[in-house]
Amino acid sequence: MNGYFSSNSAYKVLADTGIWSYYYKQLWKIKVPPKVKIFLWLLLQDRLLTQDNFQVRGWPTIHSCTTCQSPVTEIAPHLFIHCTFTHRLWDLIQLLFHLPVLTFTDNIIDFWLNNRVNIEKQWDIIWAAVSWALWKERNARVFSSDASNHYLLLREIAAILDLWEHFA
C-alpha cells in the first residue's frame, strides 16, 4: 500500500482479518458446489437461521431441538456437533470412513479446524457433506415434518459425496 486510497487497498484492509482470513480461504477451496460453500461460510459466521438467530430478529421460535427434541434453544453448535442425533451420526461417520477419534469442541470453527489437522484432505469434504445433510434434515423436519433415521441420512451423505466427486 502506497498511502493512497483505492477500492483495491480498501478491499485488502477489509479482507485481511489475520489468521482467520487464512482459514476462510481454505473454506472456499473445498471442492463442493458453490451453494454449499456459501452455506458453510454462513455456518462458520453463525448466520444460519437457527432458532437463536430467529430470536435475535424477534421472530417466533421453538424452544427445543428439532432433531433430538431436547428442551434447548437450537443453536449451530448444538445442531451440528452436540445434539444426540448429530453426535450419533458423527460416530457412524467415523466408523464408516475409518476416521481417527473426532475432537468435539464448543464451536463450529474449532470443530472443523481441529479435526482438519488430524484427518487432512478427506475431512473437509466429509465435514461439508455431513453438515449439508444435517441442515437439509433439520429443514425437512421444520418445514415438512419429515424425519429420517441415521441410516437414511448416511445414504443421503453417500449420495452427496458421489454427486460431489466431479468437483474434486
- The set of residues, in sequence order, having a beta carbon less than 8 Å from that of 121 and lying 6+ positions away, is none
Q: How many CB atoms lie within 10 A of CB 40?
A: 24
Domain ranges of the chain: 30-167
pLDDT digits (tens, 9 = 90+) for 63-118: 778 888 888 878 788 889 999 999 999 999 999 999 999 999 989 989 998 898 87
What does the block give as the cell for 38?
456459501
Helical axes 121-144 vs 108-119, angle rounded to 10°: 140
pLDDT digits (tens, 9 = 90+) for 44-77: 988 887 776 666 767 666 777 888 888 887 878 8
CB 113 within 8 A of CB 23: yes
* Whole-prediction pTM: 0.83
